A and B are shown apart, each in its own frame.
Chain A
Amino acid sequence: MAGKVYEFPDDCHYSESDEWVRVDGATARIGITDYAQSELSDIVFVELPEVGTQVEIGDSFGVVESVKAVSDLIAPVPGEVTETNTALEDSPEWLNEEPYGRGWIVAIEIEDLESLDNLMNAEAYQKYVEERSGS
């Protein structure tokens, strides 16, 4: 069986719960990875947090639902939600189509930039995915 080929952009940090984080100054844009969207497939609903919500690392800040399954969105960094991608409410399929682009989910004002050190780089995350998909 040919293993699936996933994208792992170099400019992102990655969490063990399959979120990506792209940092610009103190703002982190967050979404789910190509691997995560592929595992879920057919995403039909995204539950977004309110702007202003405070999150800690490990908090569930939203939900992604596919036809098959429900998956919690887990905060990879601490901070305040400053923006949400409300276009996903009508176009949840963007999460499948462009997980690192217009499928971004929230922006968080990072409270503690050192928290990024706990995340994986692209290479480490790719290894982490390959271990689990076992193909």
Chain B
Amino acid sequence: MGEALKQTPLHARHVEASARMVPFAGWDMPVLYGSIVDEHRAVRRSAGLFDVSHMGELRIRGPQAAALAQRLLTNDVVDAPVGRVRYGLLCQEDGGVIDDVTAYRVAEDDVLLCVNASNIAADLEWLRKVQAQSGLDCEVHDESDATALLAIQGPAALEITAGLLEDGGQAPRRWRFREARLAGVPVWLSRTGYTGEDGYEIFVASQQAVALWDALVAAGADRLALAGLGARDTLRSEMAYPLYGHELDLGRNPLEAGLERFVRFGAGFIGETALAALHPGGPAERLVGLLLEGRAVPRPGFAILADRPVGRVTSGTFAPSVERSIAMGYVPADLAEPGTRLAVEIRGRQVPCTVTETPFYNRKS
């Protein structure tokens, strides 16, 4: 408290657009420009532009950069070719999750980790500690302040961006990235996102973020809506993507969170031994998706009930594209099967819900 909120290079653009600004992980960020639901629907139907410059960028460079990244990350890094993006977890020795990140294989000797804003300091400390202990030949740099990150997401995102691509090159395929120039601005164009829609996340030098933002806004015209963190949260919730601090924290591991496809046993990452031994019969608790009856909104912390309290909501919202209230939360493994009937306590009332397959939203439906 009392500490000044940080501003992204696009702060003035948000204020000009009458965004409602809220504190988020120490940053003054746009939660909405007009309506979360409208912005959400724009991303599903056409495209939305997000400023996610609060995210951190930690760069590992040196002959053994990939080896260090592999020590840190549950997913495969060493075998990832240059130009690949991998999602993975940073785990403690006991398997608890320090952060969930995307790892960019920039070069043989160069890996970028894109990390959660709330975890930049902790991640940096962890990376440096592991580097020092391992003696691996590489250096860790915090490039967060020098780097802005924009996301353009939605079925029209690629077409809008293509008009600004100067080298006429191909769009990178999913989970790949490459250097490019957009409207004269050097960027890294990454075919990734946090919405369940096609699109890009675009890394750009902070001082050129406004020029890129303006070019995208002009190119997108009425096909592109500005979208705030509110829509980012409803979109990721419909996809059941975890959010650190909600579904993931030091007391949870990737296996209970259902993220085993991002855990590469044998890769030699920190926490691997613990994770391999932790759940001989499977995790005692699992993260599930819940589809509620009615429209009351399950908020984080609300109790999940069977005949007794069995867990708490980690994320919940009214899902604009599903048109239902949805939630996530950890429940005992024997209650985690899809179809299991549970309830969420909302203001003293038990609102029935059903454990459901995730994602809640399917693009083809």
Stretch at the interface among A7-15, A64-72, A105-113: A64-72
A44 within 8 Å of B (CB atoms): yes
- Asked whether A68 and B36 contact (CB < 8 A) given A1-B15, A1-B18, A4-B18, the answer is yes
Q: Binary interface profile of B, 313-324, with partner A (CB < 8 Å = 1, else 0)? A: 000011010000
**Interface: B230 (CB within 8 A):** yes
Q: How far is the CB of B181 from chain A (nearest CB, A)?
A: 33
Count contacts on B: residues with CB < 8 A to the other chain. 22
In the complex, identify which listed stretch (B157-165, B172-180, B202-210, B294-302) lies at the interface while the others stay far away. Answer: B294-302
A41 within 8 A of B: yes
When each residue 334-365 of chain B gets 1 if its CB lies under 8 Å from chain A and 0 otherwise, what string results? Answer: 00000000000001000000000000000000
A65 to B296, Cβ gap below 8 A?
yes
- A57-79 vs B: 1/0 string, CB under 8 Å? 00000010101101000000000
Query: Is B219's beta carbon under 8 Å from chain A?
Result: no
**Chain A CB within 10 A, most for which of B16, B234, B318:** B318
Other-chain residue from B18, B34, B297 in contact with A67 (beta carbon distance below 8 A): B297
B91 to nearest A CB, angstroms?
32
Interface of B is mostly: mixed
Q: Does A83 contact B (CB under 8 A)?
A: no
The 9 A-B pairs with the shortest beta carbon distances in the complex, nearest first, are A44-B318, A45-B295, A42-B37, A67-B36, A42-B36, A65-B297, A45-B296, A42-B35, A1-B15
Most B Cβ at <10 Å: residue of A42, A65, A96: A42
Bound CA–CA A96/B325 (angstroms) = 19
Please, could you name 8 A-B residue pairs with CB atoms under 8 Å apart, sorted by A?
Answer: A1-B16, A2-B18, A4-B18, A41-B32, A42-B36, A47-B296, A65-B296, A65-B318
Residues of A within 8 A of B (CB): 1-2, 4, 41-42, 44-45, 47, 63, 65, 67-68, 70, 89, 92, 96
How many angstroms from the CA of A63 to the CA of B34 in the assembled complex?
22
Shortest beta-carbon distance, A126 to chain B, in Å?
Answer: 19
Known: A42-B32, A42-B36, A67-B318. 4 other contacts (CB 8 A): A44-B295, A45-B297, A67-B320, A68-B32
Report B's interface with A, CB cutoff 8 A. 15-16, 18, 20, 31-32, 34-37, 230, 234, 294-297, 299, 317-318, 320, 325, 347
Measured between beta carbons, the chain B residues less than 8 angstroms from A42 are 32, 35-37, 230
- Closest residue on chain B to residue A46 by CB atoms: B295
Asked whether A68 and B318 contact (CB < 8 A) given A1-B18, A4-B18, A42-B37, the answer is no
Given known contacts A1-B15, A2-B18, is B230 in contact with A67 (CB within 8 Å)? yes
Nearest A residue to B37 by beta-carbon distance?
Answer: A42
Query: In angstroms, how far is the closest chain A Cβ from the Cβ of B11?
Result: 12
Q: Are B318 and A45 in contact (CB under 8 A)?
A: yes
Q: Which residues of A contact B32 (CB under 8 A)?
A: 41-42, 68
In the complex, chain A residues whose CB is within 8 Å of the CB of B18: 1-2, 4
Give the CA-CA distance A1 to B18 in the complex, in Å: 7
A63→B297 CA distance, assembly (Å): 11
Alpha-carbon gap, A75 to B295, bound state (A): 23
Q: Which residues of B contact A96 (CB under 8 A)?
A: 35
Residues in B whose Cβ lies below 8 Å from that of A47: 296, 347
When chains A and B are docked, how far (Å) is the Cα of A45 from the Cα of B20? 21
B15, A67: Cβ atoms closer than 8 Å: no
